[in-house]
């Protein structure tokens, strides 16, 4: 192999390495390191884009181009997560977070997004789902999480509380998440391991 071929091979190897680094960086920027879920910032930006499309494009074009007219949100909190950490240790707490995250990802459809909001809080956007669809999905998720087992800790049981809201009530992302959070706290305050739909009384 002559010098030119060696240089070319070295350049190709370096380009491949850089492409791999860029891919990893992009992945890190939009995925939570622990759970593999999307990040909060990615979720916010994506949701705002969807809401903008839903509310600023005429109904006829929206149906033709995107096939949806609603975006519903689930705000999910792992019940008594601090107690899990205190009782079993943070390693088991991390395992719980990852297993709940995997359950949520399996439960939603292609086009839906699940993201880690912070701590043990997780959010999901359900593209095209109306309030009833979202409530049914939330109840399915609640049951799936309740059924989880942990081989190394068979006595450990995990549940989630969920708040549900639909873009029917607002086109503003911040307001919708606030309302989903209000519904979540209704679930928590009424005994946990429950699904609550946003209503004016949730505020």
Is 120 noted as a catalytic residue in this protein?
yes
Q: What is the DSSP letter of 110?
A: B
Q: How many other CB atoms sit within 10 Å of the CB of residue 200?
A: 8
| 65 CB burial (10 A radius; 0-12, 13-18, 19+) | exposed
* 17, 44, 120, 121: the active-site residue: 120
DSSP assignment of 12-63 equals HHHHHHHHHHHHHHHHHHHB-TTT-PBPHHHHHHHHHHHHHHHHHS-HHHHH
Q: Which residues are catalytic?
A: 120
């Amino acid at each position: 192999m002559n010098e030119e071929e060696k240089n070319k091979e070295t350049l190709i190897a370096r380009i491949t390495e850089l492409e791999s680094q860029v891919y990893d960086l992009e992945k890190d920027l939009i995925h939570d390191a622990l759970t593999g879920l999307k990040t909060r910032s990615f979720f916010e930006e994506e949701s705002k884009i969807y809401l903008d499309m839903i509310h600023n494009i005429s109904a006829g074009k929206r149906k033709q181009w995107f096939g949806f007219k609603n975006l519903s949100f689930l705000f999910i909190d792992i019940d008594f997560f601090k107690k899990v950490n205190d009782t079993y240790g943070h390693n088991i707490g991390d395992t719980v977070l990852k297993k709940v995250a995997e359950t949520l990802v399996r439960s939603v459809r292609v086009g839906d997004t699940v993201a880690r909001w912070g701590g043990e809080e997780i959010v999901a956007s359900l593209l095209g789902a109306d309030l009833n669809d979202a409530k049914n999905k939330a109840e399915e998720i609640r049951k799936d999480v309740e059924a989880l087992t942990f081989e190394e800790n068979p006595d450990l049981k995990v549940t989630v509380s969920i708040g549900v809201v639909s873009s029917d009530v607002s086109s503003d992302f911040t307001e919708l998440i606030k309302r989903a959070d209000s519904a979540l706290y209704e679930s928590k305050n009424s005994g946990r391991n429950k699904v609550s739909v946003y209503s004016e009384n949730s505020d």
